């Protein structure tokens, strides 16, 4: 790519590392012109490899022109959902064990290593019990060699973080483990959510730091010297240093970047974003030019956090969703993601030969089970294989991809569940391959990158087992994908869900499901029903056109596929602004009787200042100015250029106020 201009350009590079693909976009920042794009398969064993391939594919001839690199990633979300975070000890100060147990709230902690200690504060920041520092130090000495990080959450610490701060100093004096404090991540008073957020953040520290190191290494190898930004879960940007300290804020980073990118390339202020990837389909809503944000806190992997994130809904449906059969032989689409057979056969030609042999069998002889392959994705680390059966399985797969039926026979078991490979699959030592929508795209000619003949043979085997024609099965798969997406749109926007097929197998007996299916297929001779979406749909992702055409028709709305919609997530990584929110709490200081207000506290995460009773107005004025200064400074440190600050005052009852300052600015580019 040549310059072609006399004046120097300000180029920015956006990269999104998804579950299947890593996408890259090169953009001229001031004109907002997309100059180049590239997609590469995500290399989970080392993210830097996939990122370097993307940078190489974009062909950057003058690395000095790159003024900023920004990345979005599903790494944090996937690490939590798949249980791949680091080992964490959660120290709970002032929490009531009986209360936690009676409401079964311990299941909401993302670590089994949680411990209770005396201490904590009241709703008005008063010490409810002295801090048992000796017990904390004794426990840390006992466990420090068995965990990778420590999280500390004290009761009502946003109103008085003294016990968390004292615990931090003491723990840091006896061990070198990273320590995360709950009050530094959230000023919300939900004690369980704050503890969960602290523990998740601690578990992700090393994970995201390794990722940032990988990105930096890829940049250095390509001689790119520029600021590195990371997308938050609400679509805004933060510096890589900030992200390394608060990785929990990258929950939902990838889908948020897609929503931001969809709004950017479509230039629409009101729309429904549907991002169809290889693994999931993600929904987000754009209102007044902004992605709607959930103030309730992001939930991921069954854990409720205090993290501000985009209001999203995801389903396990994408280009690489596994096409299988249910017990009644009806088609199941997803939610498991597998490697398409077209790709596997492209990599291992013997797979195509086996599929040819299967396709020659008589109708119904070869079952869909014959289409599932397992293969070795990477060599296991020494000591990972614990059982003889695991070692036997890996040795068998070193010969190349093997049919699941052959694996069952080789290991002498009766069923796949007896293979005992759950951990090897989770750690992506072993991967699965099968028939997917990507294979159907190869058959139809809409996406032909690998072995289309293998895909056609696999569909032939799948169809003949059902005594049906391949075209009929292919149409039914797309029809089912449409049903799944339309139902998800209705659920996302209405907040109401239809009963599942299992709960309401008789469609005619349930008015909700009857209305839904009649809207899709208009089967009733006299009654016409339909849903009408008042917003256009912006399709994002490479397979969006195939998955969403019928969805737009069923919902009677326009489907918009903007230019570069295939890589809108990478566009979103550089289209966001830097935003930092700082909150200062103002609450009363009562007399020992609890009846008389003696003054007011102004509380930040680091300090507390006391004002006399008659000085509420002074306390609020001081809190406003303090919040403004803190937000402005934090935005500068997080990479904002000339941030603007807006301050609002929220009343929370009982003479308690929350002063919230938001600082926003464009990311700072290198000169």
- Looking at the chain, the whole-number percentage of residues with pLDDT higher than 90 is 59
Residue 3 has pLDDT above 50, yes or no: no
What phi-psi label fits residue 567: left (phi over 0), alpha (psi between -120 and 50 degrees) or beta?
A: alpha
H-helix or E-strand spanning residue 661: strand 657-667
Q: Name the range with the highest mean pLDDT among 79-83, 84-88, 216-220.
A: 216-220
d(CA 124, CA 122): 5
Exposure string over 522-551, b if 16+ CB within 10 A, otherwise e: eeeeeeeeebebebbbbbbbbbbebbbebb
What pLDDT score does 312 carry?
A: 87
d(CA 481, CA 440): 13
DSSP, collapsed to helix, strand or coil, labels residue 239 as strand
Query: Phi/psi of residue 555, each to 5°?
Result: -90, 5
CATH architecture of residue range(s) 578-667: 2-Layer Sandwich (3.30)
40-44 average pLDDT score:
82
Residue 350 has pLDDT above 90, yes or no: yes
Residue 217 neighbours by CB under 8 Å, 6+ apart: 48
Instruction: Identify the CA nearest to 257 among candidates 213, 312, 304.
Output: 312
- Supply 647's token pair: 């301050």
371-384 average pLDDT score:
89
Q: What is the pLDDT of residues 615-633, one digit of tens each?
A: 889 999 999 999 999 999 9
Residue 470 neighbours by CB under 8 Å, 6+ apart: 443, 456, 459, 460, 462, 463
What pLDDT score does 508 carry?
A: 58
* Fold that domain 88-204 belongs to in CATH: Rossmann fold (3.40.50)
- Supply 439's token pair: 């294979």
- Supply 641's token pair: 């250029």
The neighbour count for residue 327, using CB atoms within 10 Å, is 6
What pLDDT score does 501 carry?
A: 57
Q: Which residue has the higher pLDDT, 136 or 316?
A: 136
Q: Which residue has the higher pLDDT, 5 or 130?
A: 130
248, 204 contact by CB (below 8 A): yes
The neighbour count for residue 4, using CB atoms within 10 Å, is 6
74, 18 contact by CB (below 8 A): yes
Q: What global pTM score does this model have?
A: 0.82
pLDDT band at residue 542, thresholds of 50, 70 and 90? confident
Q: Name the range with the highest mean pLDDT among 281-285, 302-306, 440-444.
A: 440-444
Q: Output the furthest CA–CA distance in the chain (Å, rounded).
A: 91
d(CA 461, CA 473): 11
50, 42 contact by CB (below 8 A): yes
Looking from the CA of 665 toward its CB, the CA atoms found within 13 Å total: 21
Give, as one character, the DSSP assignment of residue 87: P
d(CA 273, CA 18): 17
DSSP, collapsed to helix, strand or coil, labels residue 612 as strand
The neighbour count for residue 645, using CB atoms within 10 Å, is 18
167-186 average pLDDT score:
93
The neighbour count for residue 267, using CB atoms within 10 Å, is 9
Lowest-pLDDT range of 238-247, 360-369, 577-586: 360-369
What pLDDT score does 82 carry?
A: 66
pLDDT band at residue 142, thresholds of 50, 70 and 90? very high
d(CA 280, CA 336): 10
What pLDDT score does 499 carry?
A: 66
Distances 407 to 200, 357, 372, 387 between C-alpha atoms, Å: 37, 18, 11, 16
What phi-psi label fits residue 653: left (phi over 0), alpha (psi between -120 and 50 degrees) or beta?
A: left
H-helix or E-strand spanning residue 287: strand 281-287
Residue 15 has pLDDT above 90, yes or no: yes
Give, as one character, the DSSP assignment of residue 182: G
Strands 578-590 and 597-603, sheet pairing: antiparallel
d(CA 157, CA 151): 13
Question: Where along the chain do its domains lie?
Answer: 88-204, 321-473, 578-667
What pLDDT score does 503 carry?
A: 43
Show the CA angle centred on residue 389, arms to residues 410 and 327, nearest 5°: 60
Distances 617 to 168, 621, 647 between C-alpha atoms, Å: 34, 6, 16
Per-position DSSP letters for 592-631, written without gaps between them: TTSSSEEEEEEE-SS-EEEEEGGGHHHHHHHHHHHHHHHH
387, 413 contact by CB (below 8 A): no
Start-to-end Cα distance in the chain: 21
pLDDT band at residue 237, thresholds of 50, 70 and 90? very high
Q: What is the pLDDT of residues 566-616, one digit of tens each?
A: 999 999 999 889 999 999 999 998 887 777 888 999 999 888 899 986 688
Residue 295 has pLDDT above 80, yes or no: no
Residue 204 has pLDDT above 80, yes or no: yes
What pLDDT score does 363 carry?
A: 59
What pLDDT score does 49 carry?
A: 86
Strand ranges inside 359-437, DSSP E: 373-376, 402-403, 430-434
Q: Which residue has the tokens 């007399």?
A: 591
Total number of residues shown for the chain: 671
pLDDT band at residue 552, thresholds of 50, 70 and 90? very high
Q: Could you tell me how many helices (H) and strands (E) the chain has, helices first?
A: 20, 31
d(CA 104, CA 405): 42
643, 661 contact by CB (below 8 A): no
């Amino acid at each position: 790519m040549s310059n072609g201009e006399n004046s120097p350009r300000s180029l920015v590079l956006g990269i999104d590392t998804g579950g299947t693909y890593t996408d890259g976009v090169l953009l001229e920042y001031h004109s907002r012109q997309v100059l180049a794009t590239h997609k590469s398969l995500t290399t989970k064993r080392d993210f830097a490899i996939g990122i370097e391939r993307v940078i190489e594919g974009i062909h950057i001839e003058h690395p000095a022109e790159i003024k900023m690199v920004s990345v979005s990633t599903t790494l944090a979300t996937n690490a939590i959902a798949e249980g791949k975070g680091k080992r964490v000890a959660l120290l709970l100060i002032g929490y009531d064990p009986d209360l936690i147990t009676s409401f079964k709230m311990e299941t909401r902690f993302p670590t089994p290593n949680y411990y209770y200690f005396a201490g904590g504060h009241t709703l008005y920041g008063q010490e409810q019990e002295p801090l048992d520092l000796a017990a904390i130090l004794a426990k840390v000495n006992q466990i420090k060699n068995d965990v990778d990080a420590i999280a500390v959450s004290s009761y009502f610490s946003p109103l008085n973080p003294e016990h968390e701060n004292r615990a931090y100093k003491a723990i840091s004096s006896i061990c070198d483990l990273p320590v995360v404090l709950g009050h530094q991540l959230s000023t919300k008073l939900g004690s369980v959510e704050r503890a969960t957020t602290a523990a998740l953040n601690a578990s992700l520290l090393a994970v995201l730091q390794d990722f940032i190191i990988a990105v930096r290494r890829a940049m250095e190898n390509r001689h790119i010297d520029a600021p590195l930004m990371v997308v938050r879960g609400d679509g805004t940007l933060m510096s890589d240093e900030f992200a390394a300290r608060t990785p929990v804020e990258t929950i939902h980073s990838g889908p948020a970047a897609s929503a931001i990118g969809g709004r950017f390339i479509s230039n629409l202020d009101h729309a429904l974003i549907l991002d169809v990837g290889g693994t999931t389909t993600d929904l987000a809503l754009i209102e007044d030019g902004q992605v709607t944000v959930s103030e309730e806190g992001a939930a991921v992997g069954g854990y409720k956090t205090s993290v501000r994130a985009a209001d999203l809904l995801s389903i396990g449906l994408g280009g690489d969703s596994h096409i299988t059969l249910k017990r009644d032989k009806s088609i199941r689409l997803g939610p498991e993601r597998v490697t398409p057979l077209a790709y596997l056969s492209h990599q291992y030609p013997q797979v195509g030969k086996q599929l040819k042999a299967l396709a020659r069998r008589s109708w119904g002889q070869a079952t869909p089970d014959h289409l599932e392959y397992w293969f070795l994705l990477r060599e296991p680390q020494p000591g990972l294989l614990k059982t003889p059966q695991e070692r036997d399985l890996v040795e068998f797969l070193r010969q190349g991809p093997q049919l699941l039926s052959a694996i069952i026979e080789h290991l002498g078991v009766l069923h796949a569940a007896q293979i005992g490979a759950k951990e090897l699959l989770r750690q992506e030592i072993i991967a699965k391959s099968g028939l997917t929508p990507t294979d159907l795209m190869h058959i139809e000619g809409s996406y032909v990158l690998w072995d289309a003949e293998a895909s056609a043979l696999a569909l032939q085997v799948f169809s003949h087992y059902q005594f049906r024609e391949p075209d009929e099965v292919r149409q039914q798969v797309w029809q089912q994908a449409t049903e799944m997406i339309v139902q998800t749109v209705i659920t996302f926007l209405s907040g109401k869900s239809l009963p599942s097929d299992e709960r309401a197998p008789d469609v005619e007996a349930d008015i909700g499901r009857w209305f839904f299916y009649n809207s899709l297929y208009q089967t009733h001779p006299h009654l016409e029903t339909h849903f009408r979406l008042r917003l256009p749909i912006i399709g994002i992702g490479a397979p969006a056109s195939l998955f969403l055409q019928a969805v737009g028709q069923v919902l009677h709305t326009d489907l918009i596929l903007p230019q570069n919609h295939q890589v809108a997530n990478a566009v979103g990584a550089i289209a966001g602004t830097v935003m930092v929110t700082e909150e200062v709490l103002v609450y009363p200081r009562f007399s020992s009787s609890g009846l008389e207000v003696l003054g007011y506290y102004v509380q930040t995460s680091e300090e507390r200042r006391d004002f006399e009773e008659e000085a509420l107005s002074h306390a609020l004025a001081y809190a406003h100015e303090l919040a403004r200064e803190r937000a402005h400074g934090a935005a500068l440190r997080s990479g904002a250029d000339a941030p603007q600050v807006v301050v609002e005052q929220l009343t929370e009852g009982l003479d308690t106020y929350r002063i919230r300052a938001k600082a926003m600015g464009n990311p700072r580019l290198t000169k």
